[in-house]
A and B are shown apart, each in its own frame.
Chain A
Amino acid sequence: MDGRITEHPIVRFDRGKEITLYFESKRVKAHANETIAAALYANGLRIFSRSMKYHRPRGFFCAIGRCSACMMTVDGTPNVRTCMVNVQDGMQVSRQNAFPNADHDLLSILDKLGFYFSLAAGFYHRKMIRPGFLRQFYLRLITSFVGLGKLPPKESSSKSLGTKISESADVVVIGGGPAGLTAALEAGRRCPKVILLDDKRMLGGQLVKQTHRFFGDARHYAGVRGIRIAEKLTKQVGELKSITPYLGASVIGIYDGRLVAAVQDNRLLKIHAKKIIVATGAYERTLVFENNDLPGVYGAGGVQTLMNTYAIKPGMKALIVGSGNVGLILSYQLLQAGVKVVAIVEALPGIGGYLVHAAKVRRQGVEILTSHTIVKALGRNRVKGAIVAKVDDSFNPIPGTEKRLDCDLICIAVGLTPTYELASHAGAQLSFVPELGGFVARRTRFMEVCDGVYVAGDVSGIEEATTAMLEGQIVGVHASLKQGYGLPDDEKQLGAWIKRLDDERSGPFGEKIRRGLRSVIVPEEMEIGVCPALS
């Protein structure tokens, strides 16, 4: 079975040359521009791993290196996120933590036994501790049943963290999405040295899977497809000599508020930064319902990555949970890829996203079930259907209203939450603001969170691409001006962009954002002070 999409109304895919991958000693056809996870999915694989303790089957979820559900052993290295690594010819890939293999894992009996023996969190502190002399044996037994992959023997591991690279830069931008790219561009036009870090192999962040035309301000690419915006911004970055991009580089920490540490291809990058811009974006939330970990229940963004970046059909019949803009857009994109959308369920009594988006999918005959929620995913090793039900005013399912929908794909589009960890590590003070999606950093109106550290884009609160790009531009210019690099009229330009941001948020859809921002924007720059680590 080949799940690859051969024709698409919008995107022309470049898969690269055909190569071979060895998956649990079977030959698998792959392409050079595919990630391991994408190539395996295209070949029909659905169970990517077994859960750590109960050995429940797990599919992939996010496809952007955040959820860890796709970790496998690759060429002897355990726990490789297969959605982040491109296929190489002759690569050896196998799943881990299962016996005899992840498709038929005998250890999944623990999922049934766990209930009887109440193997709840921390059970090993209370059970199997007596007699004392058997404790070590029990522990070894438990660790052989649970856990992740096995480390290769020491002498065979040739890939140690060998080289170190030390760099310094006027501005370091973490994250190459819409906010990070515009921040790097504005800083790069002013400062002599800017470093742009991203853990993906291509720039553009989540724009690379947005095949639809964007809403927003036409001066910030409204009416243009997300994939084209990514192409344009990436090209501009390439043209500026002052910007050095490091791709496939995961930032692991920000120390003393100034030293950025990243890992790229088994080497360590140490970058001394004068200013740091954190534009790490957001990750997808999930929803609690029975069997929500079954392969086939995926994040909306993960499905977009598979379908729009790697041109792989995620399934045949999809159920979408959530009618915000992401859920509506995803439904439209699934239809474009030839996937049937059985319904969109929305717990609220009204549609969450823009009505024009909803009209686009309604015209194609897709039903939007408001005041409905998903109760259960059906199937043993992969999704075979779903039970949905009406909800009452407090969002509890009403008994007797359940109905069964046939589907092999359940897409969770219930919102995003900011990837705040690095901002926090750099010294930002966090507040929990539900209107902005979760924990966000307190900041000035120029988005400075502590002395020399900025946030921009979704990490500062979940919004959309136009506002992310505006914020990126604002911080890029401000971080440069603070070091004495600037262009004539910069002060005026900053004022104009801040005005445009306010305009964007002035409508009814911006009401929530305005409310959220009131609690995190500190009135005067004096209040943020220096990073705790420095003081």
Chain B
Amino acid sequence: MIECIQEIPCNSCALACKLGAIRMDNVNDIPKIDLDKCTGCMACAMVCPGQAIFLLRAADGVGYVTLPYEFLPVPKVGDEVGTLDREGRVIGRSKVTRILPPERNDGTALVTIEVPEEWALEARAIKVERE
């Protein structure tokens, strides 16, 4: 899901996609994603300077949200983290199920959290406490 709602001069996602699944005719266009071509590889989310690209998945009432994370400390798979909505309010806690470590992507980690399905459209950031 691309939450890029404003016409700004940026095409990093479209040029990062090797499959041509993101269409932009002009650098100022809003990116349009072709879900038939998208494989969910997250190459676009790895470079998006606005951190506006999220991968959402739902199975058996459980939602999975993959989001970019550029803070410290970096969580580990299995950790419980605070789940934040778009306004930074804590909506609950969730478990980290996958992570692309920050050192593999110049500082931007991609963290997948497991949330109740109805949170998938709300959960947009995490808060990791220090041990």
Chain A interface residues toward B at CB < 8 A: 7-10, 212-219, 222-225, 228, 335-336, 338, 354-357, 359-360, 362-366, 466, 503-510
Contacts and interface: CB of A to CB of B under 8 A. Distances in A.
Q: Which of A218, A335, A509 has the most CB of B within 10 A?
A: A218
Given A213-B47, A218-B16, A354-B50, A507 B8 contact: yes
A222 B47 CA distance: 8
Contact of A215 (B10, B26, B72): B10
B8 A354 contact: yes
A218 B8 contact: no
Nearest to B13: A223
Contacts of B12: 213, 215-216, 218, 222-223
Contact of B27 (A355, A363, A365, A503): A503
A416 B48 CA distance: 26
B6 A9 contact: no
Interface string B101-116: 0100011100000000
B7 interface: yes
Given A213-B12, A508-B7, 16 more contacts: A9-B71, A215-B50, A216-B27, A222-B49, A223-B16, A228-B106, A356-B51, A359-B86, A363-B88, A364-B88, A466-B9, A503-B27, A504-B28, A506-B26, A509-B8, A510-B9
Contacts of A364: 84, 88, 125
Chain B CB within 10 Å, residue with most, of A213, A214, A357: A213
B49 A223 contact: yes
A199 B11 CA distance: 33
Contact of B88 (A365, A504, A508): A365
A213 to B, nearest CB: 4
A222 B26 CA distance: 15
A9 B70 CA distance: 6
A107 B51 CA distance: 51
B81 interface: no
What are the 5 closest A-B residue pairs judged by CB atoms, nearest first? A365-B88, A356-B50, A507-B28, A223-B47, A223-B12
30 contacts: A9-B72, A214-B49, A215-B9, A215-B50, A216-B9, A216-B27, A217-B9, A217-B10, A217-B27, A218-B16, A218-B47, A223-B13, A223-B47, A225-B106, A336-B72, A356-B6, A359-B3, A359-B51, A359-B86, A363-B86, A363-B87, A363-B125, A365-B84, A503-B28, A507-B28, A508-B6, A508-B7, A508-B28, A509-B8, A510-B9
Given A9-B102, A222-B11, A360-B51, A354 B6 contact: yes
A159 B57 CA distance: 69
B15 interface: yes
Given A362-B87, A363-B125, A225 B10 contact: no
Contacts of A338: 72
Contacts of A466: 9
A357 B51 CA distance: 8
Contacts of A215: 8-10, 12, 49-50
Given A9-B72, A225-B107, A218 B15 contact: yes
Contacts of B108: 213
A223 B53 CA distance: 13
Contacts of A7: 72
A345 to B, nearest CB: 18
Given A219-B15, A506-B26, A360 B50 contact: yes
B52 interface: yes
A8 B73 CA distance: 9
A378 B3 CA distance: 39
B7 A507 contact: yes
Interface string B8-33: 11111111100000000011100000
B89 interface: yes
